[in-house]
Amino acid sequence: MKIMSGNSNLSLARAIAGYLEVPLTDASVRRFADEEIFIEIHENVRGEDVFICQSTSYPANDNLMELLIGIDALRRASAARITAVIPYFGYARQDRKPGPRTPISAKLVANLITEAGADRVLAVDLHAGQIQGFFDIPTDNLYAAPTMAADIQARYGGQELMVVSPDVGGVVRARALAKRLDNAPLAIVDKRRDRPGESEVMNIIGDVKGRHCILIDDIVDSGGTLCNAAQALLDAGAKSVAAYITHGVLSGGAVARVDASALTELVITDTIAATDAMRDSSRIRVLTIAPLLGEAIRRIADESSVSSLFD
Ligand code: R5P
């Protein structure tokens, strides 16, 4: 088995390689003067089972291109099998046509990865489970929920918990987490704008009074969804609100927004490399999912069950 990494999240790739006790494959990524990407693999990979780790996070297009070129280099170097390990799959939110004459970019990206030469894909908390079907190659979608549930039990165990989905679309994810927390009760934030131009109304479905609320979502980007949901929960009588979000995209002023919010803390995973602002934030904590990815990689290489990781 070989583990190769792009530049998007080297620390996670190193941690995965450490878990598997294999060195990272010696490869370099360089740029031409015009920013074209050039990748060179400095060791033999002929006949190897290679896992290339790259999150297609900010800068999404550069990181995606790096992944595609890395896969192409591996294919031309005669790797026996190439698994694209994409802890954060960017473009996933563009998984349907929101209106006429718009693209389904998640499908386009899936096509590009397959065409480049990937044989398999390994991702974490895809924005929608159906994205697995965008790939015509085997695709494993891992869940951060067990890692989060263990942390929630350690931090908030024994308290009157309420798992909350910040929108109607996230209910399945929230229910799965609630199940792991001894069937904690579930609430949903229902955002409504009755007429265009009117301000959004947040209705809470479920009685959150006196509860410690755990908001769960797959992505925190601008932080708007999360911070507004936290305030709405406190207004409805919640005792406190913490958030567990798999992918800390945290664009623009999101970290400042979280720092100034009503959240007691925001817990994200390391699918996306932390920025200085994230590291400096007193409200943001990072859980590693390197052991989860490492174990899934080991099982894929051994041809054993990946789904049993979540039993
Ligand atoms: C939406 O469907 C996603 O699950 C997240 O709720 C959304 O991407 C969060 O975005 P933002 O932080 O910009 O509100």
Ligand 1 atom nearest to CA at 166 = 6
Rounded Cα–Cα distance for residues 283 and 280 (Å)? 9
Q: Please tell me the least confidently modeled range out of 56-65, 195-204, 273-282.
A: 195-204
Residue 95 alpha carbon to ligand 1 centre in Å: 14
**pLDDT at position 2 over 80:** yes
Give the least confident one: 78-92, 165-179, 198-212, 254-268: 198-212
224 lines ligand 1 (CB under 6 A): yes
Q: Is the CB of 210 under 6 A from ligand 1?
A: no
User: Is the per-residue pLDDT at 279 higher than 90?
Assistant: yes
- Which ligand 1 atom is at minimum distance from the Cα of 251? 13
Strand residues in 199-287 grouped as ranges (E): 201-205, 212-220, 240-248, 265-269, 284-287
Alpha-carbon distance of 149 to 157, in angstroms, equals 10
User: Does the annotation place 90 within a ligand binding site?
Assistant: no
**220 touches 243 (CB < 8 A):** yes
pLDDT of residue 96: 95
Q: Contact 30/7 with Cβ under 8 angstroms?
A: no
Q: Does 167 show up as a binding residue in the annotation?
A: yes
Ligand 1 mean position, distance from CA 291 (Å): 26
Q: Does pLDDT of 193 surpass 90?
A: no
Predicted pLDDT at 200: 78
For the stretch 230-240, pLDDT in tens is 999 999 999 99
What pLDDT score does 199 carry?
A: 64
As a whole number, mean pLDDT of residues 181-200 equals: 84
The confidence band for 192, taking pLDDT boundaries of 50, 70 and 90, is confident
**pLDDT for residue 196 is more than 80:** no
How high is the pLDDT of residue 132? 96
> Would you call 209 a catalytic residue per the annotation?
no
Cα Dmax for the chain: 61
Q: Is 223 in the pocket of ligand 1 (CB under 6 A)?
A: yes
**Structural domains of the chain ordered from first start:** 2-143+291-310 (3.40.50.2020), 145-288 (3.40.50.2020)
What letter does residue 24 receive in the DSSP assignment?
B
Ligand 1 atom with least separation from CA of 224: 14
- Cα 52 to ligand 1 centroid, rounded to whole Å: 27
| Nearest CA residue ID for atom 3, ligand 1 | 219
- Establish whether residue 63 lines the binding site of ligand 1, counting it when its CB lies within 6 angstroms of any ligand atom: no
Average pLDDT of every residue of the chain: 96
CA of 87 to the centre of ligand 1 (A): 17
Exactly one of 107, 179, 191, 239 is catalytic; which is it? 191
Residue 201, pLDDT score = 76
- Summarize pLDDT for 249-274 with one digit per residue, the tens: 999 999 999 999 999 999 999 999 99
pLDDT digits (tens, 9 = 90+) for 58-103: 999 999 999 999 999 999 999 999 999 999 999 999 999 999 999 9
Compute the CA torsion angle 151, 55, 130, 214 (nearest 10 deg).
Answer: 20
pLDDT, one tens digit per residue, over 101-126 is: 999 999 999 999 999 999 999 999 99
For residues 52-61, average pLDDT: 98
Q: Whole-prediction pTM value? A: 0.96
Is 25 labelled as part of a ligand binding site?
no
- The count of residues in the chain is 311
